Structure 1
Amino acid sequence: MLNVHLVPHTHDDVGWLKTVDQYFYGSRNDIQHAGVQYILDSVIPELLKDPTKRFIYVEIAFFARWWREQDAAMKADVRKLVEEGRLEFVLGGWCMNDEASTHYNAMIDQHTLGFSFLEQEFGACARPRVGWQIDPFGHSREQASMFAQFGFDGLFFGRLDYQDKDNRLKQHNMEFVWRGSPKNLGEASELFTGVLYNHYVPPPGFCFDEMCNDEPFMDDERMHDVNIQSRVQDFIKIVNDQAQHFHSNNIMMTMGSDFQYQNAHTWYKNLDKLIKYVNQQQSNGSNINVLYSTPSCYLFNVNHLNQVWNSTKDDFFPYASRENTFWSGYFSSRAALKGYARKSNNFLQVCKQLDVLANLQSHGVNLTEDLRIYKEALGVVQHHDGVSGTEKQHVANDYAQRLAVGAEKCQKVTNAAFEKLLPKGSEKAPSQSYCTLANISYCDFTEHNKQFMVTLYNPLGHAVTDFVRIPVLSSMYRVVDPKGMNVTAQLVPVSEETKKIPERKGSLATNELFFQVELPPLGYSTYFVMETNSSDEATSQKSKVIPLASLKADIPLYIQNDEYLVLLDNINGNTLGVNNKKKKIDIPLNQGIWWYEAYGGNCSKGEFQASGAYALRTKGERHRVQDREMLLKSYILTGALVQEAHMIFGPEASQVIRLYNNKPYVEFEWTVGPINIKDKIGKEYITLYDTQQTIESGDLFYTDANGREILERRRDHRNTWDFNNTEHVAGNYFPVNSRIFIQDKAKNQQLTVLTDRSEGGASLESGTMELLVHRRLLFDDHFGVGEPLNETGADGQGLVVRGRHLAILDTIKDSPALHRSLALKMYMAPSVSFSPLTMTPEQAITQYNTQWSALRNPLPSNVHMLTLEQWQQPKLEPVETSQILLRFEHIYEKDEDPVLSQPATVNLTDFTTFKITTMEELTLGANLPLSELNRLPWRYIPDSGKSLSKEELLRTAVPHVGPPTTLTLQPMQIRTFVATLGRTQH
C-alpha cells in the first residue's frame, strides 16, 4: 500500500504580527485572526472523543501558558493523550528558533527549557523525537547536529532554495541523511532529514480550517451538491503526484497551517470523511491507504524499509523563494535587537552560574522564578520572527521589553549572590547597580557618585585580562585594585558623535575612565574608583587629542601598540593598511563604512522584488560614506592604555578604531544612524574590509555556523546543484554569527573579523569581506510582515546602532587559536556592576572578599563550561539533594591547532564551592540519560560514494556515565551532565 500520513498540526508563531501575549489570547484580531488558547481548547476534546485521531504540538512557550491555566481534570486527560501518543510534542523547544541569527548557546538553552517543562509535567512519553523546523528561512548544519545530539530520529523542514527544491524533486532526493559535523562528531551528528513537499500547508483544495475557502466533503446522497467522487479523485491525483518524488511507500501531508484548529471540529470532521472515502477505493483496486499520523510515526515506517539514502554535509543558506529574491536581509535586520539578544544571553549565563556558586537555594534564597522569567524571555526571542528581525515594530519592542524585565529579575539573583560572596564576616554587602547604556557612555550610577566599587564577574573558566570603560564626570581619579595597589587609568573624552545619540538624553558624562582588570577564572574582582582633586593621588591620565584638521595632508596618520600599527587615510577617513608587527605581516586595508541603495518595488514578480525585513536586494554599486566637512572633525587620541582614531564619515556614520595595550586585535567600533531617508531611498549600510587583492582569496571565504564550526563558502556557487545567481550581492550573503575570514594559502595569511552579534556577510571580490550592519528601508518585501523595516529612535528619527568588530591579521596556522578564544570572550564577556564605596579601599579590602574564584585551577584553554545552573528533577521523581546541570565543550575543531585540537581533560574536583558526589551523562537537551539513547539507524551513501556497512550504520551511541573526578572531550564535543552535589564553604 501507499500509506498517506496525515499530520494534523498548527504553526503558532511566538510573536510576529502580534506579540506573544496577543497571539495567545487572541487579541488584536484586526491584525491577524489568531488565538492559541482556543486551538488547544478545541483540539483536546476532539482527541478525547476518538482514539484514532492524532495531533502534534510544537511551541512550548504557548503550551506552558495554556497548561498553567488548566484544572486537574483537564491535565489528567492531556497526560492520558500524551501517554497514548495521540498528542505528540515535536521539536519541544520554547519556540521554533531561527537558524541564521541565533547563537548555539541560546539555541541549546531554549530547547532545554522546553524539554525540561515536558519532562517535569509528562515524563518520558513526552520526550520529542523529531525536529520540526517548518518555517525558518534557511537551515543551519549546526542545528541539524544539535538535533542529532538531542537524540532526535529525524528532522523535517519546509523552506529551501527554489532551485534546490526543483533539483531535489527531479532527482527524488527530498529525503536524505544530513551530516551535521562530518569532520568532528561523525555519526553522533547525523540526522535523517525530509523536505516537506507542500511547505507546511495542506495540499491544494484540502484546507478545512474555518478561515479556509476550500470545499468541505458533502456526502449525503439525499441532498444536492454531493461531491464525494470528485473530491476523492482530486485527492488521489495529489497523492500520486507527490509520491512520484519520494522513494518509499510512505508520504506525509501536513494538515494545518498558521494558527489553525481554533475550531478543530471543522478540520477533523472533514478529515474523517477524507480517510473514509479514499480508503473505500481500496475495494476498487486502489493502493492508497490514508491514516492519521505524526512525524515520528512516519519516520518509524520509513526507517523500517531499511533502504540506503543520499547524504549531504552542506547547509541551506541563503534561502531564495524565486529569482531575485534571496532572504539574506534578515541576517542583519534589527541589528540593535540582535545585539541585545546576544548580550542578554551573556548575562543569563552569569546569573545561572552565580545562583549555583553562591548556593542561593540552599540558603533559603529561592530565585528560581526570577531566573525562569529571564530564561523564558530569551527563549521567546530566539523565535524565527524574533531575533531574525522579521516581526512588526511593536512586536520587536515587546521582545526588547521582555529582555529588559528579565535582566532586572536576573539582577536580583546576582545581587543575592554578591551579598553572600563579598562579605568576609557579618558585614552586609552593598547592593549592586548595572549600567545597561554604558555602550553609549551613559551610566547614572557612576555619574552621580564620586567614589564607588566596580565588581567584574568573569563567566569563563579561564583567567581574563580585559579593559573596562566607565562614564564619569570629573577629570582626576584614583583607581585601586583588589589588593590595594594603584592602577593606571586613562581618561578618554566622550565623543561628540556619542553625545548626539538620542537615548543618551540625561547623561552628564564628559569622559570615560579606562583601566585594565585582571579577573580570575569563574570568579570576580572588585576595583575601587575615587574622584580626587590631587594630581599626586590621581592614577588617571588624560588622553592626548590630535585633531585631523591640524595635520598636513602629507603627514602619515597612524595609531599603534605593541601588536599592531594601523595606517589611516586623512583624505576619506578609511584605513590604508594594517601591520601585525610581531608576525611582520603588512597589508593594505581599505576599511570603512559604505552603503547600497535598497531596491524598491511592488514585489509582483522577482524582477520587482523589494528589499525588506526578509529579503536583501541592492541596486547598483556600493557608495562610500564620505562627507569631507565632517571628516575634518575626526581626531586621533593617544594615551597610556588605549590608542583611538575617531573617524567621522558623515552625519549618519562614524567609527572608532581602537588599539588596547597588549591586545592582539584591532577593534572597530562602528556607529550607524540615523540613516537619512529624506531622499526617498532605503539604505543598506556595510563595513568593508578590502585588502586591495593583497590577500588573494579567490572565490573562497569562511563563516561560522551559529558560533561553532567553520563552513567554507564559494562565491556564486552551491555544492549540490548548478546555481544560477540572479543577485550578485544578496545571493552571496551568508549568516555570520561570530566570525568571517579570508585566506591566502600561498602567503600563509588570514584576515578574520569577529562580530558582537549576528550579521550577514560576504566576500564579493577576491581579498574583500563586507558585513551588513544596519538597514533602513521604505518598502515591505511582501512576505507577510506588512510594513517596511524602518526603525526609529527616541527622537523619532532613524535608529542609531553601535557595534564592534575585532579584526585579526595573522598566519593561517595561528589564527584559529586567536579567533576561537576571542569569539568566546566576546559572547561570554565579564558582567560589570557598581556599588557605593563608603570607606577607604584599604578598609573595604579588610571587610570584603575583593577577589574570588570558584575554581582552584583554570579549565584547559580549549574547554568552555557552557552550562552551570540549578537543576530541578522531574516532579514524577522528586530528589531532595542539590543538583546542577553541567555542560562542557571542546571549542576547537579537528586539525585547527596542533595542540589545542587535541582531546582535553577536565578536572571536576577543582570547584571550590561544591563537590560532585554523583554524575550522570545526558543527551545534549538534558532530557534522556545517554546510556538510554537508541536512535533509529539510517544507511546512507557518503559524499565519497562508498556506502558504509550495515554494522557501522546500526551501532548505537555508547553509554557513558562520567566519573566524578575527570572527563575527556573530543574536538567540538559538548557533554551534558546532571550532577548531585555536596557543598563546601566558599
Structure 2
Amino acid sequence: MAVHLRLPTAVFLLVCSGVLSFPVGQEKRDATTCGYQSCHATKPTMLNVHLVPHTHDDVGWLKTVDQYFYGDRNDIQHAGVQYILDSVVDQLLKNPDRRFIYVETGFFYRWWKQQSPSMQQTVKQLVNEGRLEFVNGGWCMSDEATTHYSAVIDQMTIGLRFLNETFGICGRPRVAWHIDPFGHAREHASIFAQMGYDGFFFGRLDYQDRNRRMKVKEQELLWRASDSLTPPMADLFTGILPNGYNPPEGFCWDQLCSDAPIRDDPDLEDYNVDDVVWRFLHAAKSQALVYKTNHIIMTMGSDFQYENANLWYKNLDKLIRYVNAQQTNGSNVNVLYSTPSCYLQELHRANLTWSLKTDDFFPYADNAHNFWTGYFTSRPALKRYERISNSNLQSCNQLEVLGGPVSRKGLFGLGDSETLRKAMAVAQHHDAVSGTEKQHVANDYAKRLAKGWQHCQVLVSNSLASLTGSSAERIYCDNLNVSVCPLTESSKKFSVSVYNPLGRTVTWPVRLPVNGTAYSVTDTQGKYVDCQVLPVSRATQEVRRNRGFASNELVFQVQAPPLGYSTYSVSLLKDQPSSSLLPHGAPTVIQNKFLQVTFDPDTGLMNGLINLETKQTIKLTQNFYWYNASDGNNYESQQTSGAYIFRPNSSTPLMVNSKAKVESFQNSVVQEMRQWFAPWVSQVVRLYSDSKAVELEWTVGPVPVNDRQGKEVITRLDTSIKTSELFYTDSNGREVLQRKKDFRPTWQLKQTEPIAGNYYPINSRAFIKDDMDQLTVVTDRSQGGGSIYNGSLEIMIHRRLLYDDYRGVGEALDERSEIFPDGLVVRGRLLLSLERPASAADAHRPLAQEVVSQPLLSFTDGDLSQNARLEFSGLQASLPPAVHLLTLSQWDKESVLLRLEHQFQSWESKVNSQPVTVNLQKLFSTLDVLGVSELNLSANQWKDEMRRFDWTPEKEEKPLPKTFEDLSVWEITLRPMEIRTFLLRVTFK
C-alpha cells in the first residue's frame, strides 16, 4: 500500500508502507474507540475518582535491563516485566471495563516480538478499544537533569515510531508521564509540547513547593516552557500526582504489597467491605480538598507491579462496585477505571484557568536536608561516555545517509546504527545516565554503548570507503583522551580522517600519541600544517596505566567542512631533538591572539583572564576543593550523601592545595600550563593558537578515602564579576535559565542546605555576568554546580562516597574497576570563554555544540590510494550560524529524517536571534530532495494535522510575538528556539 502526503502545494512525497504505517489524522476507522473516545462516562455532580492501573518498570536500576525483563536475579529485586505484560493482557480480557497503561516501549517491544500472531492481534484489539493505552511512549522514561535534548528526542522518536507502526493512531500517546525522575526540566516540557502531547504528569517535586501548591490548589498548572517559542507552541498542561506514583495508603493489592484484600463474604468473621469503603471515601475526599475540580486521579500500582494482575483487578473491581453502591445512600463519590488521558480530558472539559509557570522544578528535595542534587554529577565517567556515544551516533546516522546503501553492507561487512540507537535510548533512563544505578548495571549500560559503537564503526568504515574511494582498513582510537592509540604510537606514516557532524566548518585540535620527536603533517591540498610534539604528561601516564606506551603527543589543528571530512597525512621524520619537548620556566602568562591567561608566580594558580579583542580584563582564580560528605551522624538529620543526595557536612569546602607545582610548554600550536595540586588532582590549562576559549583539562582520582570520609570534589572559579547572587545554566543543552542563590521564582524558599540547595544541573554550559563581562563555562558532560559566592561559579566534577543514601540503590557510590581498583580516575574538560554579555551567546552556543557533536577521527596505516577523495562535504554550503542540523538519519530506503533547529533564544543575540530561512532543495551536495513533508518533533504525526488541547492561563505575561510564514514548501523559516522536523524523499545525485 502507498499513501500520499498532503502538502500545501502540488508537491507530494510518496511514502512506502512502513514509513509511517498510519499517517495519523488521515486514517479513518469505522469505529475508533481508543484514546479520548474510550473513556468511561463520569458524573458531573459527583467527585469522580479516576483509578489508573499502572506499573513503573525501570529500564535498569538494581538489575540490568535484561534481568528486569526476564525476571532474573530476583535475589536482588523481585521483578519480571515479561510476566507483568502476560498477566495484564490476560486480566484485561476478562472485563471490558478494566484499563491499563504502559509506558516503557523498550520493554514492550521485547515482549511484542516474542508473541504469536494471534496474541499480537488480541493486543491490537485491546489497544484499539482503549483498554490498553500507551502513555509517554519513549523507549524509556528519561532523566531530566543529566540528559541532552538531542538524545531525549532520539529516544522518544524510536519508541513512538514503533508504537505508530504497530498500532497506528491508537498507539499514539496523548500524555507525557514522568512519574519517577528526580526534578523536572523546562526543556523537557517544551519537547513534549512540540511532540503533540496534551498534558504531562509527574510524581516528584520539592516538598516545600508541594505544600504551597496544595494550600492554593495549584497542583495542576500550565507550564510555559519557552521564552522564545510563540505560545502555545511550548505550553504544556502539567499535573502533579497525589501520591508520587503509588496507591493511597492501605490500597495496594499487588503480590509485593501487604495490605489486606477486600473480604466481601458477610458470613466470614473478617468481612471488611464497610471499613475499606469508609477509608477510601475518606482518602478521596481528603485528596479532593487540594485539587481544583471534581475529578481526582489515583495511581493504582508501583514499581514492577501487576506480575500477578489478578490480585489487583479482583480487588479494584470490588472497590468500584462497593464504593459506587454507596451512591444510593447519598454518597457523592463515583469511582471508575481510567487512564491519565481520560482524566486530562475531564480537566480540559472543566474549562478553568490555570496558574502559569515559566521556570523549572530544580532542585528537588523530599525533606529539609535531602536535596537530590548529587546525581547531577554521579558516575562522571559514564556521563562522559554517554555524551561521546551521542556524538558518535549522530555521525553514524549522517554517514549512513551520505554513504548510501553500501554503508550498511559494504567492504567491511554488515554495519548498523540501530544497535547504538537503542543502547543510547536505554542510557537516557532516569537510573542510567543519572548515575543512580548499581555498579553492575552501570557496567551493563557502558557495554551496550560499546557494542553499539562497534556496529557503527563498520557502518562508518563502509561509508567512508565509498565516499573516499579507498579500501584501506580504518582504525578507531577510543582512548585518545588518555593518549592511547596503537596505530599512531607505532606507525611511521598514517592518515587521519576527521568527520565533522556539524553544519558548519570547524577547526579542532588533534592530539595523537606518538613515540617520535619530529613529524610532518599535510592537509588535503598537500600543504604543510603546523605541528608540534610534546611529552606525555605524568598525569596521563598514570591514568592510562598499561594501555599505551607513547612517550609524546603530536599536536596540530585540523579543519573539517560541514557534514563532511578532511584527511590529513602524518609522516615520521628522522628523529631529532625538539625544543618543544623541553619545559619552559614557569611563566606568568600564556596567550594567543584572542586571549591572555595570567598566573600567580608564587602559587602557580590562574589569577586573571583578558580578552585581547574586546579589551576585557577580569580577576579569575581557579582551584580544586572537596566537601566532606555527611555520614549520617548529625544532630539535624541522619541523611547521608549518596548516588542521589548531595549533603556536605560543612558549608566550607576544603582546598586540595593552595599552591600548584607547574610545568609549562609553549609552541606555535599550543601553550599549556601543567599543574599538580596533589597526587590525585592535576590539570592542564591549555590555549590553542586559534581558539577563543581556554581549556581546563582536569584529572581527578582516585579520591582518597583512607580517612573513612566520602568526598565531593569541585573546581571553583572566583572572579571579579559582580553577579548579585545570580548565575545561569542551560536546560538540557538548549534554553538558558536564570538562577539566584537561596531563591525560587514561584515559591518562598526556606533554605536548609546552603550548598546542596543551591546546586543545579549543568548539561552543556553555565555562566556568570554583570553589565560588562560574561564568563561562560562549557562542560563536556552533565554536572552539578552553583554560585555560592558573588562572582563565583563552582562545578562538581567527581564524587566518591562510603554510604548509601537510602533511596533504594542499596550501595555506596564508590566506583572502582579492573584498571582502577583503588578508586576511579576521571578526566574531563571545561572551556572558558570571556565575552561582552550582549554577544556572548554568539560564542558559547557554537562552542557548546562543538563539544557535544565533536569530530570523529578514524585512522588508516600508510598512504591512502592515489585517487582517494581526501575531502568531502555533505552540504552545498555551511548552514547559517543560527541554524543547527540536529538530525539526519535514514528512515527507510527512500526517505531520510531531517531536523533543523534555530539554536538561539529570542533575546540572546542582536545578529543571530532573527528568523532564518533555509532552502531544503539546496541543502545537500549528494542528495536530490524530491519531496518533503513536515512532521511534529517526534516524527509520529504530520505537523499540519497535529491537534492539542487549548488551555487558558490565569494571566498572560507578555504579548505574542509575530509569526513568520515559509516562503515555499522548500524554503522554510526557523524562528528562535524552533526545531522543525521533515521527512524527505531523496535520491543520490
TM-score, normalised with respect to structure 1 = 0.93
| Counterpart contact for 1:360–1:416, Cα < 8 Å | no
- Give the aligned residue type for 1:545: P
Q: 1:54 to 1:962 in 2, by over 3 A?
A: farther
- Give the aligned residue type for 1:488: D
Residue 878 of structure 1 is matched in structure 2 by: none
Which of 547, 558, 562 is 2:589 aligned to? 558
Residue 394 of structure 2 is matched in structure 1 by: 349
Which of 38, 62, 70 is 1:25 aligned to? 70
Q: Work out the CA distance in 1 between the residues paired with 2:302 and 2:612.
A: 58
Per-residue CA deviation, residues 875-917 of structure 1 (Å, 9 max, x unaligned), is xxxxxx6001000000001121111111011122231111111
Which of 277, 299, 323 is 1:232 aligned to? 277
**TM-fit CA distance, 1:290:** 0.6
The DSSP-based 3-state class of the residue aligned with 1:608 is coil
Which of 515, 530, 554 is 2:556 aligned to? 515
- Give the aligned residue type for 1:734: Y
Per-residue CA deviation, residues 614-643 of structure 1 (Å, 9 max, x unaligned), is 011112211111186xx44x2011011000
| Counterpart contact for 1:654–1:671, Cα < 8 Å | yes
| Counterpart contact for 1:573–1:592, Cα < 8 Å | no
- Give the aligned residue type for 1:70: Q
- Give the aligned residue type for 1:383: H
Per-residue CA deviation, residues 353-404 of structure 1 (Å, 9 max, x unaligned), is 0000111269865999731111110111100000000001111111111111
- Give the aligned residue type for 1:766: N
- Give the aligned residue type for 2:970: T
Q: Work out the CA distance in 1 between the residues paired with 2:937 and 2:968.
A: 18
Q: Work out the CA distance in 2 between the residues paired with 1:429 and 1:862.
A: 37
The DSSP-based 3-state class of the residue aligned with 2:122 is helix
Residue 403 of structure 1 is matched in structure 2 by: 449
Which of 699, 719, 725 is 2:751 aligned to? 725
Q: Work out the CA distance in 2 between the residues paired with 1:765 and 1:678.
A: 30
The residue correspondences of 1:845-924 to structure 2 (distance < 5 A) are: 846-872=866-892, 882-908=894-920, 909-924=922-937
Q: Work out the CA distance in 2 between the residues paired with 1:291 and 1:960.
A: 46
Q: Work out the CA distance in 2 between the residues paired with 1:90 and 1:569.
A: 57
Which of 333, 345, 353 is 1:288 aligned to? 333
Instruction: Indicate yes or no: 2:541 matched with 1:477.
Output: no
The residue correspondences of 1:610-689 to structure 2 (distance < 5 A) are: 610-620=640-650, 621-626=652-657, 631-632=660-661, 634-689=662-717
The residue correspondences of 1:810-821 to structure 2 (distance < 5 A) are: 810-821=835-846
Q: Work out the CA distance in 2 between the residues paired with 1:919 and 1:525.
A: 30
Residue 542 of structure 2 is matched in structure 1 by: 500
Instruction: Indicate yes or no: 2:856 matched with 1:831.
Output: yes
**TM-fit CA distance, 1:982:** 2.5
| Counterpart contact for 2:102–2:133, Cα < 8 Å | yes
Per-residue CA deviation, residues 642-683 of structure 1 (Å, 9 max, x unaligned), is 000000000111110000002111111111101000011111
Q: 1:792 to 1:569 in 2, by over 3 A?
A: farther
Residue 527 of structure 1 is matched in structure 2 by: 568
Q: Work out the CA distance in 2 between the residues paired with 1:593 and 1:395.
A: 30
Q: Work out the CA distance in 2 between the residues paired with 1:685 and 1:942.
A: 44
Per-residue CA deviation, residues 443-474 of structure 1 (Å, 9 max, x unaligned), is 12212322111000011110111211111111
Residue 552 of structure 1 is matched in structure 2 by: none
Which of 311, 323, 327 is 1:278 aligned to? 323
The DSSP-based 3-state class of the residue aligned with 2:227 is coil
Q: Work out the CA distance in 2 between the residues paired with 1:466 and 1:364.
A: 31
- Give the aligned residue type for 1:499: Q
Residue 753 of structure 1 is matched in structure 2 by: 777
Per-residue CA deviation, residues 118-154 of structure 1 (Å, 9 max, x unaligned), is 1111112101110100000000010000000000000
Per-residue CA deviation, residues 396-432 of structure 1 (Å, 9 max, x unaligned), is 1111111111111110110110110011xxxx42121
| Counterpart contact for 2:415–2:458, Cα < 8 Å | no
- Give the aligned residue type for 1:546: H
The residue correspondences of 1:793-804 to structure 2 (distance < 5 A) are: 793=817, 794-804=819-829
Residue 698 of structure 1 is matched in structure 2 by: 724
**TM-fit CA distance, 1:219:** 0.5
The DSSP-based 3-state class of the residue aligned with 1:354 is helix
Q: Percent identical across equivalent pairs?
A: 50
**TM-fit CA distance, 1:783:** 0.4
Q: Work out the CA distance in 2 between the residues paired with 1:511 and 1:49.
A: 71
Per-residue CA deviation, residues 301-342 of structure 1 (Å, 9 max, x unaligned), is 110111111111110000000011100000000000001100
Which of 703, 711, 730 is 2:737 aligned to? 711
Residue 553 of structure 1 is matched in structure 2 by: none
**TM-fit CA distance, 1:485:** 1.4
Per-residue CA deviation, residues 52-84 of structure 1 (Å, 9 max, x unaligned), is 111000011111111111111111111111111
**TM-fit CA distance, 1:961:** 9.0
Q: Work out the CA distance in 1 between the residues paired with 2:796 and 2:967.
A: 44
Q: 1:263 to 1:764 in 2, by over 3 A?
A: same
Q: Work out the CA distance in 2 between the residues paired with 1:206 and 1:460.
A: 53
**Equivalences, count:** 940
**TM-fit CA distance, 1:606:** 6.1
The DSSP-based 3-state class of the residue aligned with 2:376 is coil
Residue 807 of structure 1 is matched in structure 2 by: 832
Instruction: Indicate yes or no: 2:813 matched with 1:789.
Output: yes
Q: 1:532 to 1:369 in 2, by over 3 A?
A: closer
Q: Work out the CA distance in 1 between the residues paired with 2:595 and 2:912.
A: 25
**TM-fit CA distance, 1:856:** 1.5
The DSSP-based 3-state class of the residue aligned with 1:968 is strand
Which of 751, 760, 766 is 1:734 aligned to? 760
Q: Work out the CA distance in 1 between the residues paired with 2:970 and 2:277.
A: 65
Q: Which runs of 5+ in 2 are unaligned?
A: 1-45
The DSSP-based 3-state class of the residue aligned with 2:837 is coil
| Counterpart contact for 1:491–1:541, Cα < 8 Å | no
Per-residue CA deviation, residues 919-957 of structure 1 (Å, 9 max, x unaligned), is 11111000000111110111111364x9x9xxx99xxx9
Which of 455, 471, 494 is 2:497 aligned to? 455
- Which stretch of the first structure deviates more once superposed, 569-578 or 468-477? 569-578
Q: Work out the CA distance in 2 between the residues paired with 1:965 and 1:137.
A: 42
The DSSP-based 3-state class of the residue aligned with 2:387 is helix
Q: Which runs of 5+ in 1 are unaligned?
A: 549-555, 873-880
Aligned-pair Cα RMSD in Å: 2.0
| Counterpart contact for 1:698–1:765, Cα < 8 Å | no
Q: Work out the CA distance in 2 between the residues paired with 1:749 and 1:643.
A: 24
| Counterpart contact for 1:489–1:541, Cα < 8 Å | no
**TM-fit CA distance, 1:838:** 4.2
Q: Work out the CA distance in 2 between the residues paired with 1:710 and 1:363.
A: 39
Per-residue CA deviation, residues 834-880 of structure 1 (Å, 9 max, x unaligned), is 012247xxxx4x410001111121111110110000114xxxxxxxx
Instruction: Indicate yes or no: 2:86 matched with 1:41.
Output: yes
Q: Work out the CA distance in 2 between the residues paired with 1:270 and 1:960.
A: 55
| Counterpart contact for 1:918–1:964, Cα < 8 Å | no
Q: Work out the CA distance in 2 between the residues paired with 1:905 and 1:926.
A: 21
Q: Work out the CA distance in 2 between the residues paired with 1:824 and 1:570.
A: 35
| Counterpart contact for 1:343–1:827, Cα < 8 Å | yes
The DSSP-based 3-state class of the residue aligned with 2:550 is coil
- Which stretch of the first structure deviates more once superposed, 907-916 or 227-236? 907-916
Q: Work out the CA distance in 1 between the residues paired with 2:567 and 2:877.
A: 20
**TM-fit CA distance, 1:96:** 0.4
Which of 311, 316, 332 is 1:266 aligned to? 311
Residue 780 of structure 1 is matched in structure 2 by: 804
